[in-house]
Amino acid sequence: MASIIKRKKNYSVVYNYVDESGETKQKWETCHSHKEALKRKAEVEHEITTGTFLPPNKQTISEFMKDFVSLYGEKKWGVSFYDSSKALIANYINPIIGDLEVQAITPRVADQYVKTLQQTKSVVKRNKQPKSEYLTATNIERIIKLLRCAFKQAVRWEMIAKNPFDLVTIPKAKYKKRDIWDAETIRKALDQCTDGKLYVAMNLAFACSLRMGEILGLTWDNIHITDEDIAVDNAYVFVEKELTRASKEAIVAIGEKDIYHIFKPLMPNTSTRVILKKPKTDSSICKVWLPKTLAYILREWKNTQEELKGFLGDEYEDFNLVISLPNGRPCENRIIEEEFLRLKKKADLPNVVFHSLRHSSTTYKLKLNHGDLKATQGDTGHAEIDMITNIYAHILDEDRKVNAQKFESAFYTKSVDLRNVRPPEEEKTTPPVDLAALIEQLKNSPELANTLAALIGAQATN
């Protein structure tokens, strides 16, 4: 069924196959040794015999990824993931392996690709410099995860027999301790903050552990701060939307199934749109209870908005957003970040990003509740509890140290020195004496009576 032909220093495995159109064609596969050729010949014959042989397919990676996005991604992804995946394909997949054929990707080629990624410089996006010069382990992991999913579909579409990215070795991403503000620094920042929307956003990030998109996506129907709610400590926010910017291509491709609102752009020719959409994970949809002070801050902020709304009249575009621009339009994250940067410079505060307030919140709550992971996860909306234990392990370790200190003070520092304590010895008990039997025995044995008398006399003289 297959034969081996020597060609100069190499060997070719030659066999016939039937392609997708039903035509019989001949295939020559080059091997570098006779042993390799024998192995490939046996594989081909086994696959043809068992009906598992896959005809050669010359489709390239770039062509395949286009099909993958169209047939799989548009059905499974949200608009944000669609845009980020398309960017990974355009920047780091097609330029490096896009011209290779899908069937040419072996586990060895996949490992070599990872090595190349480690030496690949990060792409500048929208004139924004990347945080690191070269691709980070986290981004490499995202790329391989995308390719693993894509090649899983290639197996399902019977283009390849096995997924070459299943067992690929990737650099391990390490969670490092994040630079955050402590509670005193946050108090100082709030005291120095003069921008109303930034002030409210900072409070929501720290007290409620919310992400930026979740804060900017809050609408007043999500805020429950009636007198009754506050009186019984039941004031809360319900997180069910997030504000983000997505490409028109993604919106058209994915559809509007998870999009609640598309804001009309100020410039009609832009390729992106600001949208309100479902949060990125189901676990992000949650109720977060408010401290009373924050509840009153939100009530005061709403009153300020109502006054502004009345002053501007028809000029105010009311989208019911908690955080908005003075004219009611959505406030994007870049605006908050710019205000946050100005605040840091004015108040001479440590340089952290706005998102670090969420990490400050998580840290603070873990300290307050002594490492209650489930309660903290409920507020933060982390999809997996392992994310908290990985990122905030140092906080949990601090609490474990406190446990040891508490144990020392509660148990080991009592009046008894436990280091000198020994196990109690067993008591030696003497069986009771039958006096009547002893007297009878002495009467019957004069010798025993004389011996006992002598012992008693000797003890008396000592």
Mean pLDDT of 212-217: 95
Q: Is the pLDDT of residue 367 over 90?
A: no
Supply the pTM of this predicted model: 0.70
Q: Is the pLDDT of residue 421 over 60?
A: no
pLDDT given for residue 419 in this prediction = 42
pLDDT given for residue 459 in this prediction = 54
In this predicted model, what pLDDT tens digit does every residue of 67-79 receive, in sequence order? 999 999 999 999 9
3-state secondary structure of 191: helix
pLDDT given for residue 218 in this prediction = 96
Q: Give the DSSP H or E segment for 13.
A: strand 10-18
Q: Is the pLDDT of residue 156 over 80?
A: yes
**What is the C-alpha to C-alpha distance for residues 41 and 26, in angstroms, rounded to an integer?**
14
Q: Is the pLDDT of residue 423 over 50?
A: no
Region class of 316: left (phi > 0), else alpha (psi between -120 and 50), else beta:
beta
Mean pLDDT of the chain: 82
Query: Range with the lowest mean pLDDT among 67-71, 258-262, 265-269, 344-348?
Result: 265-269
CA of 365: how far to CAs of 203, 384, 390, in Å? 14, 17, 16
pLDDT band at 206 (very low <50, low <70, confident <90, very high): confident
In this predicted model, what pLDDT tens digit does every residue of 101-152 receive, in sequence order? 999 999 999 999 999 999 999 988 766 777 788 899 999 999 999 999 999 9
Q: Please, which residues bridge with residue 259 across strands?
A: 277
Nearest of 56, 41, 29 to residue 1 by alpha carbon? 41
pLDDT band at 449 (very low <50, low <70, confident <90, very high): low
**What is the C-alpha to C-alpha distance for residues 76 and 253, in angstroms, rounded to an integer?**
11
Pairing of strands 10-18, 2-7: antiparallel
Question: 132 CB contacts (<8 Å, ≥6 apart)?
Answer: 122
CA of 406: how far to CAs of 158, 411, 420, in Å? 62, 8, 22
